Chains A and B, each alone.
Chain A
Amino acid sequence: MIRGLWDRETVALILLAALLPMALAWLWLDAGDAAGRLLFALAVTGVWHLVFMFARAQPPSLSFALSALAVAILAPEGLGPVQMILGISFGTVMGELAFGGWGRNVVAPATVTLAFLGFGFPAAPWPDLVPPLAWAAIPAAAIGIVTGVMPGGVIAGAVLAGAVAVAAGIAPAPLVHAGAVVLVLLVADPVASAATTLGRWLNGLLYAGLLLIFAQGWTGAAPVQMAVAAALLASLAAPLFDEAAIAFWIARRRTRHGGP
C-alpha cells in the first residue's frame, strides 16, 4: 500500500549517483577514448542482462552500469574488442547473472571481469590512475556512506589500515591511488562485501592488508593489478567474515540469555 524506497533499483541508482564524481573526473581527465570504452562496456553488459531477461525471466538491474563503469576505468589497456567482449561476458554471466542477478551474487561482476582479463591477457598493460581520480574517490565514498548504500565499515577498515601503512612509509603513492579507486568501485559494493558490522571491518582490513602484502612481494605487478587481486580475494572471504561475525553474535547472546 505504502512503500519505502530502498529496493534494489533505488540502491543501484544511488550507487550510480555516488560514483558520478569519479566517472566525471575520469571522463574529463582521460585523453584517450574513455567515453568509447564506457559505451562499449555498457553495451556488452546490458546485452547480457537483456539475454537473461528474455531467456530466464530474470529482471535486469541498473547495477549493470556500475560494473560497466568499473570495467571501463580499470580494464587493462590495448585489448581488442573480442578480448573485451570475452572478459565482460565471462564476468557478467559467471559472476552475477548465473547466480540470479545483482543481490544474489558472491563476487562483483566487474571484479571477475578484471581478474579474468588480468589472468587471460597478462601482456596487456594496466592503466595508470591519475591522482585526481583517486581524490574523486573521496566524495564518492562520502556520498555512499552518508546515504548508507556503501558499507561504511569496509571503507573505514581499509582507510584505517591504509593510513597506518602510509604513516609507516610502506605504501607508495600510486598504490594508494589505485587502492582508493578500487576500494570505491569494487570492494565497497554492498552485495559483494560483508553484511555485518564486524564482518565489514574485517573485510576492509583484509583488502588493505592483502594490497600491502602484494606491494611488498609481488614484483612486476601494476598497482591496479594488485588492487584488483586484493579485491577479488577480499570479496571471496566476505561470506566467511559474515559467518564468523554471526557465530560470535550468537555466542554472545547465548552467554547473556542462556538457552540452546
Chain B
Amino acid sequence: MLGLATRAGLSPRFPSPPEPGGEAAETITEEAAVTPPPGPSLRVDVLAEEGAAVAAGAPVARLRDAPEVVFTASMPAIVGNVRLGRGRRLTEIVLFRETAGDRFEQPEALRSAADPRPLMLAAGAWPLLRRRPFGGMPDPGEGPAAIVVMAADTRPFAPDPRQAIEGREEAFARGLHALSALTEGPVFVCTSPGKPLVEKGNGAVRQITGGPRHPQGLAGIRIHDLCPARIDAPVWDIHAEDVAAIGHLVETGMMPATRLVRLAGAALREGRLVRTQPGADLRGLSHGATRPGGHVLLSGSPLDGHPAHWLGARDRQVTVLPREEKPGPRHWFVEALTGTARAAPAIPTEALRQAFGGGMPGVALIRALSAGDDETAIRLGVLSLLEEDVALADYALGGAHLPELLRRVLSRIEAEMAP
C-alpha cells in the first residue's frame, strides 16, 4: 500500500484524570434525547405525542421526505419536550426514562441479513451510517461504492472499538455480512494492530490495519487512502460497535440498549468508561465526577467535539473542560499585532504533514481551501473529508478555521455540482 506509513500521525496529549480501572459500568441516564445526526437539517413527522409512553426501540419520528427513515427511542420512556425548528426540522425529542417500560421488537419477517435495508430503516439504525461526500445520513435508496467500518479510533480518549465489540464477535460478523448486502463494492474493516477481526476469505470484506497515531483511525483519512469518495460514487462509514449492533438487530429484532462511551477532560475528578444509551444526557453521565467550578460538556473528542446537552448520534466520547473566562478587552497595540481579518498563513512544518496522516499534500489542500479553489480541492481528495478529518491539523496550527473553510468549500461544491 502506498500512502499511510504505520508510524505517521501525531499523539496530542490533553490533561485528564486517570480512570479507576475495571469493567465499564452500565449507566443509563434518567433523560435522553433523539437528536438528528450532524449534517443537513432534517424535516420530520413526529410519531409520538408529548406525554406518550414509548417502548425502547419504538419509532418516535420519521423523515418527511423519506418516511422509511425512522428515529427510535433508545430506552423505554415518556416523551417529554418535542422541539422542532422551522419547517418541522428536528432539533431534539427529549425522553424521560420509564423503568417499567418494555422493548419494541421488529417483526420476524423483516429480520433478513440478505436484505437488511428495511430492517435498519425501521429500527432507527440508519442514522448510524454516514456518507461522503458532504456528510450526513445517506438516502434510504442510495448504494455506496464501498463501506468503511471503523474498528479503530485514534482520537484522544476514544474508547477502543475492540473493547466495545469484545464478546460480540458473532454479532459483528453477522453485521458485516448484512452490510456487504448493502453495497456492490468492498467492505473495509479498519483496525488497530492486534488480532484479526475478519476471517480470511470472507468475500468482499477486507481488513486494513493502521497505525496507532491520530489521524490514522479516522474514517475520512482511511477513505481518502482506500476508496476516495466521488459525487457519483459515495462511500459510507460506520463504527464497528454499530456494526455489532446491526448484527444484534438482525438476530433479535432489537438494537442493543447501550454503547461504550468514555468521559475525559481536565474538569473531571476521575475519568469514566461507561455503557450508556445513545442520546444520553451528558450532565447525567458526568454527575458526581466533575471538579467544582464551571465546565463545558462536549459531545466528541477534545479535537472535534462540540458543546452539547445530549450525546451525539454517532459520538462515543464526552469531553468535560473547565469553562474559560471571557478575555477582557486587549490593548490596541496587542490587537494590532495579533488580530487580522485573514487568518495567519499555515507554515509547512512536519507537524502539519503528520496532522494529515503523512499521506496527502496537506499544505496544498489548506491553500486550496483558503483560496476557495474547489477544483484543486476536489483533485486533492476533499470529497472524502469532513470536518473531523481536518480537526487535528486545525488544532496543530493553533486554530486556522480549517473545519469552517472545508464546510464552505463542500457546500459550494454540493450546490454547484451535485445532482
What is the interface of chain A, defined by CB distance below 8 A to chain B?
1-12, 53-54, 57-60, 100-104, 147-149, 151-152, 190-191, 195-197, 242, 245-246, 249-250, 252-253, 256-257, 259-260
Contacts and interface: CB of A to CB of B under 8 A. Distances in A.
Contact of A1 (B321, B364, B379, B380): B321
Contacts of A191: 347-348
B396 interface: yes
Interface string B322-363: 001000000000001111111011111111110000000101
Given A6-B349, A152-B350, A195-B364, A57 B228 contact: no
A195 B397 contact: no
Contacts of A246: 361, 364, 380
B227 A257 contact: yes
Interface in B133-167: none
Nearest to B14: A2
A260 B336 CA distance: 46
B398 A4 contact: yes
Contact of A253 (B324, B381, B399): B381
Contacts of B14: 2
Contact of A4 (B227, B230, B396): B396
Given A57-B341, A246-B361, A148 B228 contact: no
Given A152-B350, A242-B364, A259-B230, A2 B396 contact: no
Contacts of A60: 337
User: Which of the listed residues A6, A100, A104, A147 has the most CB atoms from chain B within 10 Å of its own CB?
Assistant: A6
Contacts of B348: 151, 190-191, 195
B227 A190 contact: no
Interface in B1-39: 2, 12, 14
Given A59-B337, A246-B380, A259-B230, A2 B347 contact: no
B302 interface: yes
A2 to B, nearest CB: 6
B337 A4 contact: no
A231 to B, nearest CB: 18
B364 A100 contact: no
A260 B381 CA distance: 11
Given A195-B363, A253-B381, A148 B350 contact: yes
Interface in B310-327: 321, 324
16 contacts: A3-B398, A4-B398, A6-B349, A6-B352, A6-B396, A7-B400, A8-B345, A10-B398, A54-B336, A100-B345, A101-B344, A149-B349, A191-B347, A242-B361, A249-B361, A257-B227
Contact of A59 (B339, B346, B363): B339
User: Which of the listed residues B321, B342, B346, B348 has the most CB atoms from chain A within 10 Å of its own CB?
Assistant: B348
Contact of B349 (A1, A53, A190, A249): A190
Interface in B187-238: 227-228, 230, 233
A246 B375 CA distance: 14
Nearest to A11: B347
A177 to B, nearest CB: 27
A147 B354 CA distance: 12
Nearest to B366: A195
B381 A57 contact: no
Nearest to B336: A53
Nearest to B230: A259
Contacts of A4: 12, 351, 395-398
B364 A3 contact: no
B351 A6 contact: yes
B340 A59 contact: yes
Contacts of B397: 4, 6-7
A96 B337 CA distance: 17
User: Which of the listed residues A2, A54, A242 has the most CB atoms from chain B within 10 Å of its own CB?
Assistant: A2
Contacts of A253: 228, 381
Ranked nearest first, the 10 interchain pairs of A and B with the lowest CB-CB distance are A148-B350, A103-B345, A7-B398, A195-B363, A195-B348, A4-B396, A11-B347, A8-B344, A6-B351, A4-B395
Nearest to B226: A257
B141 to A, nearest CB: 22
Contacts of A12: 347
Contact of A8 (B2, B347, B395): B347
Contacts of A195: 348, 361, 363-364
A3 B338 contact: no
